[in-house]
Every structure is written in structure tokens, then in C-alpha cells.
Chain A
Amino acid sequence: MALETTTHDLEEAVIKFAGDSGDGMQLTGTQFTTNSALFGNDLGTFPDFPAEIRAPIGTVAGVSGFQLHFGSKEIFTPGDICDVLVVMNSAALKSNIRNIKKGGIIIANTAGFDAKNLKLANMTSNALEDDSLSNYTVIKIDVTRMTREALTDIQLGMKEKDRCKNMFVLGFLYWMFNREMDNTIKFLNDKFGKKPEVLEANLRVLKAGYSYGDTTEQFTTRYKVEKAVMPAGTYRSIMGNQATALGLVAASKKSGLPLFLGSYPITPASDILHDLAKYKSFRVKTFQAEDEIAAITSAIGAAFGGSLAVTTTSGPGMALKTEALGLATVLEIPLVIINVQRGGPSTGLPTKTEQADLFQAYYGRNGECPIPIVAAQSPSDCFNAVYEACRISVQHMIPVILLTDGYIANGAEPWRFPKESELEEIKIEFAKPMAEGEKFMPYARDEKLSRPWAIPGTKGLEHRIGGLEKQNITGNISYEPENHEFMVKLREEKVERIANYIPEQKIDSGPAKGKLLVLGWGGTFGAIKAAVKDLNEEGFDIAHAHLRHMRPFPKNLGEILNNYDKVLIPEINNGQLVKIIRDKYFIDAMAYNKIQGLPFFKSELMDKIREILK
């Protein structure tokens, strides 16, 4: 008879699954995630892939991880450090030991700690045997052996049997967190329905993992994370790049403009191209160009032709697109440029996150070349952000840069997704045909200072545009000194005037006036939100505002900044927004920076804020 187990209620928990690339940790993580979502937890996830496609088995370079943060309270991030760390081999332990809480639980597959694996991970002694893990609760399971034993009478090769071992871990965790396993059983049936032996093997190992917890007398503690209180509605799980792709299709539908994507594959932006390439039934045209320059210039051609034209990239690709951004600015045509930021400069840290391309978006072109900038703050928010970027672009006849980052692009969260009918129409009108004898003025302007979108095929609108300086109204080439100054100021004013067509800045949490405002942008939203919320509960007089519109800023931003004694601007860069804010509003904003290719931890932000308010 099993010992009586006690069940602890937790408000939240962070689990990280780590193993070799071939150990199926992404699948295990997503299964536990789906299970938690269906159960009703709020959650956030982040995958942690190796940069190498097929790193040698058993090495630190080949470790693949998946972190899940779930709770009965609101969850804003994938979690700082984990409560439970699952490691399938020595390398997985080595690369994640910094990420576990003191007193946390390590579940280790002992088969991954044999002499060969220790050597591959460059570990001189077996951490499971020495006392180096004495600060943690270590659960040692020979997962490989248990898996094989569960499958002795199944007609499968050893390799195929071993491939089921992630199901053992998943089953064990389902036991540990008091979960039903229906969703995974259904998933396995769908996936392996045509391969009965494989299906049977996976199901059996999953159940063996669960029973192992249930019947082995060594485990006496189980955990329970109750449902979260979340707004009623229908939810799905969404990753940032998926949301960006969906937002583009939605903007195409709601504007009536055909969607054209010119793109060149680059990490971590390629998934947007992959997704859009699938959406042919929405008449999306995706063009995998020969390079980053052709990607953006082909989009410029499509925009000239009347498409909702988009190019997607990451920092190094953005650098290559620079000249074309200038062209789009002078042409004054709509174009959405999406930069899924990664660590730089140069090739930098392709699979790691950073917010260091803000200056590039703001200033990185020859000449006076202002471009509106929109930033997304979470995986699901990429949908709203790209929709807004499209709206501004086509309604103001202007290129718009959308900044997301690798952290939110690959992170996932539950999303109470909108219905098509709830999305605001994006109204646009092409220039109308001209009667004989009338002269079309391609650079005539409306109250937004935007010029007509005159597409080829429209009678009487034949006109020539180009990168040479334009005369206002006529669009003819002009080298007049006064005209150039006029046009430079006009293009600046055109960007500034967008502020009349965007919402005012809101305070996300905290008081409208107080000691400290934490001003953030982009993917730091979750960590700042969580930190400020906790500190508010502790009684700190602080607030959080998060910018969607980076250029132009909302009209009331200056006023908001003046309502607080101090302003702190945390960024995953060496201080970029903080310099722009200081420059524009003459305030003594403080910077807080982390440049490690990693997102902020909530705890780091809380420590920093406490220190400032001391």
C-alpha cells in the first residue's frame, strides 16, 4: 500500500523541461501547457532552442528546453527561475542549474548521467552522486530503464522504445500536479492512430510514469495549482510570430487590400514567412526573395501596385534594408517593416532576445528620414500591434516599422482571440481615375498630410515617383534649396501628425501620480507588469506605463512623465528609449539595462525598484 501523500496548493509554478534536442522536450512542454490551459490556469511559456540545428547528442550545445509558468493568478511571463527542473541528461543539468530556485525540485533521468554523458557534458563528477545538489530536492529516476521495462512485450526497436521516454516524465509530472491526462491521450491517438504499436507504447509509458508516482513509496508530496480567474471567452494558445502572421491576414481582410510579403529567411523572424506561405486560401502572396534588399524592394513594388505590402526580418536584415526604407519614405507609400529583434551587433545572438534595434528604427538611415514605429508587448499582442502598424501605414501613406523580439516571437500565452466582426475596419481609398485634360498631382495632400495612393491601371493617374527629392504637390524632381528644407520638415510633420490618430497613453497599473513611473516598451511588458503589481501589493507608490507607439509618442506622454517624482526605463539594451525620452522631454529618466540575450526577471526589476525608492 502506498504511503499517504500530502497535497500542497500552489498559486503558481514554473517547470522547465530540458534534455537533448532528440529527447522530445518541446513536445512534453507543450503537452503540459495544453493540459494546464484546458484545466483553466493562466500561463506563459518560452522555448529555449539550441542555435545549432543538430548539435552532437549529449553536449551542452545540444540542450533544448521548454519553460512553463502557470498559475491560479494572472501570469505575465514564462517565469524567472523554475520550481521544478526536469533534466534528461548531464548537459541539461549543467546548462540549467543557474535557473532553479534554492529548494526546488530536480527530476533527473539517471541514465543520462553515466560516464559517457558526464564526459560529453564536460562534467568531472556526477552531480547526482556528489553533494553539489544538496540545496535541492533531487528525484532520481532511471527513465530509460523504466521505459524499456514498460515495453518489454512490445514489438518495437530499442531506438523507438527509447523515444517514448519523454512520456514517462510527462506522466510522472501529471501525477505530481494532480492532473488528468485526457488531452495527451487524445493527442497521442490523433498523432499515432495509424501506427498502433507506437501509439500503444506511448500510452503505456505515459501511464507508467503516472503510476510510478502513485505506487512508489518514495514520493509523498503532490501539488495542486487551481484554476485562474480569467475573463470569460474562448481562448487559444498563441506565439508571437503566429500572432503577427494572423494580424497581417486580418488587416488585409479588413482593409480589402491583397497581402504581399517580401521576405528573406532569418532567425527569429522566419516563422512569419512560414505561416503566411500556408495562407494561400486568403490570397496571400509570399515571395522568398534572393536577399533582404530584394525582400523590401519587392514589397515596395507591390505597395506601388496597391497591395498591403510587408517585409519581415531581424536586425542584420534590417541593416540591409536601410536604403530602401529611405526610398519608401520619399515615395510616401505604405509599407510595413517587421523587425523581430535579436541580440546584435552583426550576427550577434541569433536565437537570443534583445531590444537594441530601437535606435536603428529611429535613426538608422541617411538623411532626415523619420519613420513611425510601433512595438508589440507580448505574444498575443503581436496581433494588435501589427494590425495597428498596417492601419497607420495605409491610412497615412507611410512606411511603418513594427518592433517585436525573439522573446515574444517564440513565447506563448493563452489568447482570448477576437472575432472578425470585432476588428475595426481599415478604411482606405485609392485615387480615382482622372478625366481627360485634368492633371493628377501625386504629392497633393490631405489633412493627415498623406498623398493619394494612385495605383497603375487607373486612367489618367500616370505619374513617376522616385528617390530624388520631390517638389510638393507635383511630385516632380526638385533641387530647390527651400523646397528640400520644406519637404524635410513636411515629412517630419507628417509623422508627428499621426499622434492625432492614435490613443492617448494609459497607465497600465498603479496610481496616476506618485513616486515612480516604470516606463517600458516591447517585450519587457510581462516582467515589468508582474514586478510593479507585486510591489503595489507591498504598498509601493509606483506605476507602470507601456508604450505601443514609439514614434510619434502619444500626445499626453510628457504630461504623464511629469506626474511622477522619478521615471525608470528598463530595457534589454544599453539604454535607448531612455535617451530618446531624455532628449524629447528633458527629464532625468533613469536607465536599467540587461544585455545578456535574456529577458528581465521579475525579481531583478523588483530589487532595482526597491533600491531606487530606498
Chain B
Amino acid sequence: MAETLTATNGEVALTAKDFATDQEIRWCPGCGDYSILKQVHTILPQLGLKQEDIVFISGIGCSSRFPYYTETFGMHSIHGRATAVASGLKAARPELSVWIVTGDGDGLSIGGNHTIHLLRRNFDVNILLFNNEIYGLTKGQYSPTSPENKVAKSTPFGSIDHPFNPIALALGADATFVARSMDRDPAHLQNMLLRSYKHAGSSFLEIYQNCNIFNDMAFESYTEKSTKKDEALFMVQGQPLVFGANNEKGIKLDGFKPVIVNLEEGASKDDLWIHDEHDMVKANIISRFFDHVDVEGHLPRPFGVFYQTSRPTYEAMMAEQINEVIKAKGEGKLDKLIAGGETWVIE
């Protein structure tokens, strides 16, 4: 959304506490969802919105309990359909700030269809896709983002499914804002949440979230201190792509092929890929930095905003069409509509 950020809603300044509800939180102790909830509650007071103008809509799954814990309007809908519920609400009430909380199962498996259609239509809503690469609520089956060979309850001999790359999928659906963050980096996550909110159009934010019960440490390479600097690549607009303990490694484009170069071993910073989140070609290339950490010579996993562009929102165009028709033809007259074209009178 495009409003400027202020610290108050014009009345009394809200705090994170104002967004907590009286409901007991039922996520497992240690779940990454707690951090995401905290970061969302932290940024909500910064949006300058009234609580009653915010709506959180979720589907089914662990993440989808989210609305119960947030003091705004909310709907815990049915599996996979949060995006469709939100589409209808946003079309009907464009002035509301609509947030969708979904997961890798809810948003990419059972609800994958609605996710891609919402993105192409570009409703001005914020999708928070909690990706833990596992089905948590059904107690540990592999998900559409689980890596190949994943041993889980329903795949005792390893999964033969090829996983989705959610970022590439969102780009493929012509999403206008595509970003990735993680539960264990509060500052980055808050920043990405604010960016998602500020974007006028569908914001797709994939959040790596640890399920400490069924898929613990799935993202440890990106979240743990010992490996994070080498495995996670933080994209900053207008800055070269660098990573490593001392930012000594960088990404260079060799034609369309990204390669890792070492700045301490003679590579020049001037040759590095400069991140441009408005460049669709680059976004498509960097979205494909997706190899598993076990793959020899793999590229680091990018975090931050992959792509952002501006396109009219569905709800704005819908309202505009209506206004144009009314401007041209005037407000509809019910009696005239019911009478239709040809009438006759019986005396």
C-alpha cells in the first residue's frame, strides 16, 4: 500500500501490545511462527492505520492460526482459499489493508491456483507465505517445497517430488512485488514486511520459517551464525551482490550466467552484479539461485526484494470501470432496468 508511514493512527499512538489478542497462542514452543507474529505486531503500529481497517485472512495450517492472535479483523478460512477470500474482500472494500497469512501447503499446494491468479490480477494485498518445507499441522508429511529425497511420514524412502521454487513461481505469475526473508532475522523481516505493505499491488513475501518439531533446522545454513554469511545473500537495491564472512565474495554475470568471484583474490567490485529490483531479467536469474547447499559449487540463497514493479491494481481498475460507465450513462435506474427493451400494455 502506498500511504506514508507515520507512528500514529491520528488518535492515540498504537503499540505492538495493542495488536495482541486475549487468545492463548497454540503454536509449539520454539516455532518460528512466534518470531513472525512478533515482527508483524512490531511493524503494524508504524503503518498509521486504524486497527479496524486491517484484516488478516488465513487458510488452514499452523501459520493460518495467525489471525486469532492479532487484534484486527480476521478470518481463518478454509484450506488454500485465503487468497480467494481476500480477493473478494479487497474487490468489495478497496480501502482496507488486507493481509494474507498462508504456508507452503496452503498457498502452494491446495491453494496454488488461487495464489497465482491473485498475483496476476495484482490486488493490493500482502501475502505472507510461511515456508517451513513440511506439513506441520498434519504432523510431518513432505510439502511442495520439500527438497527431493526428503524423508518424511509419507515418504519413508525419500520424496520423489520435485519442489516448487516459490519466488520463481511468483515471478512467473507476474507478481509485482516478490521478496524473501526469514524468521530468525527480525530486522530484515521487519524491513521486508514494511516494504510489502508499502508496495501498491500484490506483495509476495516468502518467509523461511523453522518447524522445530517436524523439520528442524531446515534453513540452518541461512540462519545460523556459522554459515549464514556464506550461504545467505542479502540483496540491497543499487548495491553489488556480495556475501561471505567479510563480504569478500561477489556475484558476477558472465553473459546470463551468474558466477561467484572472490574480491580478495583479484576480482574487482566494479565487475559485480548491481542489484536492481526493477529489472525483470535479473530477477528471473537471481530467483533461480535455488540449489541445495549440498550441491557442489551452489550459489548462495538470496534474501530481500527480488522484483518490484508498478501495475494498476485489480480493485482500482474495477472501481474505475464502474465510475466511467456511470460518468457516461449516469446512475442506473432500477425501473428502467427491469422494464428492459420492449414492453407492451394490456388494458
Would you give 5 A-B contacts (Cβ < 8 Å), ordered by A? A235-B343, A236-B343, A281-B329, A283-B322, A291-B113
Contact with B along A207-230 (1 / 0, CB 8 A): 000000000000000000000001
The interface stretch among A45-53, A97-105, A461-469 is A461-469
- Residue of B whose beta carbon sits closest to that of A433: B52
CB contacts (< 8 Å) of B337 on chain A: these are: 246, 249, 279, 282
- Which residues of chain B are within 8 angstroms of A460 by Cβ–Cβ distance? 52
A467 close to B77 (CB less than 8 A)? yes
Whether the Cβ atoms of B339 and A301 lie closer than 8 Å is no
Interface set of A (CB-CB < 8 Å, partner B): 34, 37-38, 40, 230-238, 242, 246, 249-250, 253, 258, 260, 262, 279-283, 285, 287, 289-291, 293-294, 297-307, 309, 323-324, 326-327, 331, 416-420, 455-468, 476-477
Q: Chain B, 73-109, contact with A by CB distance < 8 Å: what is the 0/1 string?
A: 1111111010011111111110110000000000000
Interface majority SS on A: helix, strand, loop or mixed?
mixed
B85 touches A304 (CB 8 A): yes
Are B75 and A230 touching (Cβ within 8 A)?
no
- A304 CA to B318 CA in the complex, in Å? 19
Selected contact of B332 from candidates A282, A323, A327, A457, CB within 8 Å: A282
Find out whether the CB atom of A281 lies under 8 angstroms from the CB atom of B344. no
Residues of B within 8 A of A326 (CB): 78
B88 & A464 in contact (Cβ 8 Å cutoff): no
The CA-CA distance from A297 to B87 in the complex, in Å, is: 9
Within 8 A of A (CB), among B159-206: none
Q: Is B338 an interface residue (CB 8 A)?
A: yes
Q: What 6 pairs across the A-B complex have the smallest Cβ distances?
A: A466-B76, A298-B88, A301-B88, A301-B89, A281-B332, A464-B74
Q: Contacting chain A: which of B64-72, B132-140, B236-244?
A: B64-72
A457 engages B95 (CB within 8 Å): yes
* Sample of 14 further A-B pairs with CB below 8 A, known A294-B84, A309-B88: A246-B338, A281-B329, A281-B330, A283-B322, A301-B75, A301-B91, A302-B92, A307-B92, A323-B79, A331-B75, A455-B93, A462-B52, A466-B77, A477-B23
CA gap between A385 and B44 in the complex, in Å: 45
Q: Kindly state the separation between the CA atoms of A418 and B334 in the bound complex, as whole angstroms.
A: 10
Chain B positions near chain A (C-beta within 8 angstroms):
21, 23, 50-57, 60, 67-68, 70-79, 81, 84-93, 95-96, 113-114, 117, 318, 321-322, 325-326, 329-332, 334-335, 337-347
Task: Pick the contact of A233: B75, B340, B345 (CB < 8 A).
Answer: B345
Verify B92–A232 contact, CB threshold 8 A. no
Do residues B74 and A302 form an inter-chain contact, with CB atoms below 8 A?
no
Given A233-B346, A420-B338, verify A458-B52 contact (CB < 8 Å).
yes
Chain B residues whose C-beta falls within 8 Å of the C-beta of A418 in the assembled complex: 338
Given A233-B346, A282-B332: A456 and B96 interface contact (C-beta under 8 Å): yes
Say yes or no: A234 contacts B339, CB within 8 Å: yes
Task: Say yes or no: A237-B92 contact (C-beta < 8 A), given A294-B84, A464-B76.
Answer: no
Docked Cα-Cα span, A307 to B90, in Å, equals 11
Cα distance, A246 to B340, chains bound together (Å): 10
Q: Determine if B52 and A461 form an interchain contact, defined as CB atoms under 8 angstroms apart.
A: yes
Residue of A whose beta carbon sits closest to that of B81: A297
Inter-chain contact A300/B88, CB cutoff 8 Å: yes
Closest A-chain residue to B322, C-beta based?
A280
Closest B residue, CB atoms, query A420: B334
Give the residue name and chain of the A residue nearest to B79 (CB). A323
- In the complex, which of the residues A34, A280, A324, A456 contacts B73, with contact meaning CB atoms closer than 8 Å? A456
Give the residue name and chain of the A residue nearest to B57 (CB): A301
Chain A residues with CB under 8 A of B75: 301, 304, 331, 464-466
CB distance from B211 to the nearest CB of A (A): 21
The answer to whether B88 touches A457 (Cβ under 8 A) is no
**Contact yes or no, A250 B55, CB < 8 A:** no
Contacts of B91 in A (CB 8 A): 260, 285, 287, 298, 301-302
Cα-based distance from A323 to B79 in the complex (angstroms) = 9
Contact of B339 among A230, A236, A281, A304 (CB under 8 A): A236
User: Is A419 touching B52 in the complex (CB atoms < 8 A)?
Assistant: no
- Within the complex, what minimum Cβ distance (angstroms) separates A386 from chain B? 13
Nearest-neighbour CB distance to chain A for B194, whole angstroms, equals 22
A302 in complex: contacting residue of B68, B79, B89, CB < 8 Å: B89
Q: Collect the chain A residues with CB atoms within 8 Å of residue B70's CB.
A: 464
Once A246-B338, A309-B88 are accepted as A-B contacts, the answer to whether A457 and B322 lie under 8 Å apart by CB is no
A456–B93 contact, CB under 8 A?
A: yes
Contact B117 A297 (CB under 8 A): no
| B346, A40: Cβ atoms closer than 8 Å | yes
Chain A residues positioned under 8 Å from B74 (CB to CB): 462-466
Cβ of B50 and Cβ of A249 under 8 Å apart?
no
Q: Which residues of B contact A281 (CB under 8 A)?
A: 322, 325-326, 329-332
**Contact (Cβ within 8 A) A456 B345:** no
User: Do residues A301 and B96 form an inter-chain contact, with CB atoms below 8 A?
Assistant: no
Taken together as a complex, chains A and B put the C-alpha atoms of A279 and B60 apart, in Å, by 36
Residues of A within 8 Å of B51, CB to CB, are: 462
Using CB atoms, name the residue of chain A closest to B327: A281
> Of B68, B326, B329, B332, which is within 8 A of A477 by CB?
B68
**A461 CB, min distance to chain B CBs, angstroms:** 7
Which residues on A sit within 8 Å (CB–CB) of B95? Answer: 457
Find chain B residues with CB under 8 A from A298 CB: 84-85, 87-88, 91
CB distance from B273 to the nearest CB of A (A): 36
Q: Are A287 and B78 in contact (CB under 8 A)?
A: no
Contact of B340 among A34, A236, A258 (CB under 8 A): A236
